[in-house]
Amino acid sequence: MKKNCDTGENRKYLNDIAFSKEISVKELKSPVDVLKIVDKSNCRKCGEPTCLAFAAAVINGRRQLDECPAIPADELASYSVKGRRGADMERDQKQFLELLKNRIQSVDFEEAAKRIGASLANGKLTVPVCGKPVSVDQNGNLYSEIHLHMWLAVPLLSYILDSRGVPLSGQWVSFREFSKGMEWYGLFHKVCEESMRKVADSYPELFDDMMDLFGGRRAPDFQQSDVAVVLYPLPLVPVLICYWKPGDDMDSSLNVFFDSTGEKNLPVESIYALAAGLARIFEKIALRHGFVVR
Ligand code: SF4
């Protein structure tokens, strides 16, 4: 059931989805595992002749789980398919997080607070993350009223460690314009911009919810986009998301821009992780709303 967007209750509901604990993910290792979650009607809506054929295609990577309309949209995020890159990336990120925590132990918090626009009290740095205060202790442990997903924890620690504290220029640039940006852009476009575009196409309230949940603000008239919203996932790393609606003979399009100082305040890999994390959270909110993102 879709929720009414205007109530405080709905705001709390969205907040719970965006910042709630990671849902436990069940790994699907064989076609039999996949068969258990489709309805076995052989309805062919996925384009395969049988549910078993679909299940085999998912396991060998030819088809995606969300191509079977029989799987409830709000359950999709709770499955992962063995051997997929997503699971590998999650594991890589956990290892990377431990490395960052070790490095935080040698950071001078007083110097860091001045450099990155954070406050320091009781031995903890507090940084506004999407408008919400998040504290970090000298062991890299994070404290907040919201649960912190990995997507947020890694860029935040990386920001404390590596931001040079360069003031914002006010000039928006594409990810491509960062050093190594061209090398990463194909992946960035697919994982971040295309994923967000699909969510925006299917989820009309997305931009209003971004403003509400993430403390975003409108940036009218940017490159003649239909909607442009600026978010502050980290104080010196704002993100401008622009969306062009589909026209008569034109597909929709979505681009993500960063302040030109972005890579001086966050390594490019962490900028990528931050944007990919935002895309993932938008998708999660859309799925929970009952929108099918294709
Ligand atoms: S759409 Fe789903 S239920 Fe229908 S045949 Fe394909 S796998 Fe089976």
Which structural domain range is residue 142 located in? 87-162
Does residue 14 sit within a domain?
no
Which of 51, 52, 63 to mutate to test ligand 1, by most ligand atoms within 8 A of the CB atom?
51
- Tell whether 134 and 234 lie within a shared domain: no
Q: Which atom of ligand 1 is nearest to the CA of 55?
A: 7
54 lines ligand 1 (CB under 6 A): yes
Does residue 70 share a domain with residue 119? no
The tally of domains found in the chain comes to 3
Residues 253, 200, single domain; the answer is yes
CATH number at residue 40: 1.10.15.40
Residue whose CA lies nearest to ligand 1 atom number 8: 51
Are 255 and 149 found together in one domain? Answer: no
Write out the E strands in 163-261: 172-174, 217-218, 227-234, 237-244, 253-259
Q: How confident is the model at residue 58 (pLDDT cuts 50, 70, 90)?
A: confident
Sign for the pseudo-dihedral over CA of 180, 152, 23, 6: negative
Atom of ligand 1 nearest to the CA of 41: 3
- The alpha carbon of 67 and the centre of ligand 1 are apart by a number of angstroms equal to 8
Whole-angstrom Cα distance, residue 195 to residue 208? 18
Q: What is the pTM of this model?
A: 0.69
Residues 68, 119 share a domain: no
The overall longest dimension of the chain from CA atoms, in Å, is 64
* Interatomic CA distance for residues 94 and 96, integer angstroms: 5
Residue of 36, 37, 44 best suited for mutating to test ligand 1, as the one with most atoms within 8 Å of CB: 44
Contact 225, 217 (CB under 8 A): no
Q: Say if residue 284 is in the same domain as residue 176.
A: yes
In tens, the pLDDT along 199-248 reads 888 887 888 887 778 888 988 778 889 999 999 999 999 999 999 999 88
pLDDT at 290: 63
